[in-house]
Structure 1
Amino acid sequence: MNIRQKLAQFAQYQQTVRELNSLDTRSLNDLGINRYDIKNLARNMAR
């Protein structure tokens, strides 16, 4: 994997974390997401 791909993955990770953190707890619960799981979820989505 080259540096461009790594940077694109990191950008996607950051965007996912930002978007999920912007949701309120009720919205996250509706999606079945715990606030503590956001970083792990974002990491998995960026792969």
Structure 2
Amino acid sequence: MNPIRLAKNWLSYRRTISELGGLSNQALNDIGLTRYDIRHVAARSFR
């Protein structure tokens, strides 16, 4: 994987964590997630 692609994927990972982390527990529940799930979901964007 080239460094530019790696950097873009890392930014996407961090952005996903930030956006999901900013949601309330109720909003996360509405979309079927828990706080524990956030890193797992974000990791999918890092691949």
Gaps of 5+ in 2: none
Q: Deviations over 1:1-47 (max 9, x none)?
A: 10101100000000000000000000000000111110111011232
TM-score (normalizing by structure 2) = 0.93
Aligned-residue RMSD, C-alpha: 0.7
Gaps of 5+ in 1: none
- Distance, in Å, in 2 between the alignment partners of 1:38 and 1:31 is 12
TM-score (normalizing by structure 1) = 0.93
Aligned structure 1 segments of 4 or more residues deviating by more than 6 angstroms:
none
**Identical-pair percentage:** 36
